[in-house]
C-alpha cells in the first residue's frame, strides 16, 4: 500500500472513531426529564438534612447527627448543582413539574452569586456543626436557610 493510501486509511479510521465516540456520548447525554429528576432529588436531600438539623437544634441536640446532616448539605451544595439547570430544562417534569422560573436561565451572574452564597453558608454550617454549640448551629442553620430562601424568592414558582 502506498503512503498516501495509508494516510487516507488512517484518517478515515480516526474520523470513524471520533464519530462513534460522538454518537456514544450523544446517546449518554441525559434527557431534560432526567436532569429535572436529579435536581429535584438533590434539593429533597438538602431539605431532608435541613429538617434533621432543625429537629436537633429545636429539641434534643445530637452533635453526631447534626454533623452527618451538615456534611451531606455541604457535599450537595458544593457538587455543582448548576449543571442540573441546562437550557431545555426551564419547563418539564421530573418527579413532578419543575418549579424553576425561566429567569434562572438568563440571570447568570446573580444565580452564580446565590449559588456561591449557598456553598459558603453550607461550608460554614459544617464547620460550626463540628466545633460549635447548639446555639451556634441554630444561628448558622438560619443563615443557610436565608441563602436558600433568597434563591427561592427569585427563581422558584409557588407551585
145: CATH: 1.20.120.10
Q: Name 122's Cβ contacts closer than 8 Å, sequence gap at least 6.
A: 70, 73, 74, 76, 77, 78, 144
This prediction has a pTM of 0.81
Helix or strand run (H / E) with residue 150: helix 134-155
| Domains identified in the chain, total number | 2
* 4 and 66 assigned to the same domain: no
Greatest alpha-carbon span in the chain = 82
* 53 and 80 assigned to the same domain: yes
In tens digits, what is the pLDDT along the chain, a chain of 159 residues?
A: 665 555 455 454 544 454 454 444 456 889 999 999 999 999 999 999 999 999 999 999 999 999 999 999 999 999 999 999 999 999 999 999 999 999 999 999 999 999 999 999 999 999 999 999 999 999 999 999 999 999 999 999 986
For the chain, the distance separating the N- and C-terminal CA atoms, rounded to the nearest angstrom, is 68
Q: How many residues does this entry show for the chain?
A: 159
Cross-strand partners of 156: 100
Report helix, strand or coil for 156: strand
* 80 and 111 assigned to the same domain: yes
What single DSSP character describes residue 27? H
Q: In terms of residue numbers, what domain contains 57?
A: 31-155
Radius of gyration of the chain (CA): 22
Question: Do residues 125 and 144 lie in contact, with contact meaning Cβ atoms separated by under 8 Å?
Answer: yes
Helices (H) and strands (E) in the chain, counts: 5, 0
Amino acid at each position: 500500500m502506498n503512503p498516501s493510501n495509508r494516510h487516507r486509511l488512517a484518517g478515515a479510521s480516526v474520523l470513524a472513531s471520533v464519530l462513534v465516540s460522538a454518537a456514544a456520548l450523544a446517546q449518554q447525554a441525559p434527557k431534560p426529564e432526567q436532569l429535572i429528576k436529579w435536581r429535584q432529588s438533590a434539593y429533597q436531600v438538602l431539605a431532608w438534612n435541613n429538617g434533621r438539623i432543625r429537629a436537633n437544634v429545636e429539641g434534643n441536640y445530637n452533635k453526631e447527627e447534626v454533623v452527618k446532616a451538615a456534611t451531606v448539605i455541604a457535599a450537595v451544595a458544593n457538587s455543582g448543582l448548576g449543571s442540573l439547570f441546562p437550557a431545555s430544562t426551564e419547563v418539564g417534569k421530573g418527579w413532578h413539574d419543575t418549579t424553576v422560573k425561566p429567569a434562572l436561565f438568563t440571570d447568570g451572574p446573580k444565580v452564580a452569586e446565590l449559588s456561591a452564597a449557598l456553598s459558603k453558608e453550607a461550608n460554614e454550617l459544617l464547620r460550626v456543626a463540628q466545633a460549635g454549640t447548639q446555639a451556634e448551629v441554630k444561628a448558622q442553620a438560619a443563615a443557610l436557610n436565608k441563602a436558600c430562601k433568597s434563591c427561592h424568592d427569585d427563581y422558584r414558582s409557588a407551585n
